[in-house]
């Protein structure tokens, strides 16, 4: 089993649509949360989600993602997942 910590930021694209940027893997949950906060404060991103996911990269068997933080303007699908 391996756990990956990821920061997914979002930018505003053409016609105001919120679009995902390339996700970035970091070394810990705390680094993921901090990177999400910094992205909103300093890089002009409109939203950011920090999450972790555990599983077996060899077999492709993954647990559900655990959201560590979600801030700013995010696509509706993200809010639906957080509520659901």
Token output for 50: 């920090």
**What number of other Cβ atoms are within 10 A of residue 59's Cβ?**
7
Q: With a cut of 50, which residues of the chain have pLDDT below it?
A: none
Please tell me the predicted confidence (pLDDT) of residue 75.
86
Q: How many angstroms separate the CA atoms of 73 and 84, rounded? A: 18
Give the CA radius of gyration of the chain: 13
Which residues is 69 bridged to in the sheet? 50
């Amino acid at each position: 089993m391996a756990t990956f910590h990821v920061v997914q930021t979002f930018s505003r694209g053409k016609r105001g649509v919120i679009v995902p940027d390339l996700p970035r893997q970091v070394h810990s949950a705390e680094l993921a949360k901090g990177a999400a906060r910094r992205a909103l404060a300093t890089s002009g991103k409109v939203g950011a989600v920090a999450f972790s996911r555990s599983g077996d990269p060899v077999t492709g068997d993954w647990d559900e993602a655990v959201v560590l933080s979600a801030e700013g303007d995010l696509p509706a699908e993200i809010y639906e997942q957080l509520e659901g």
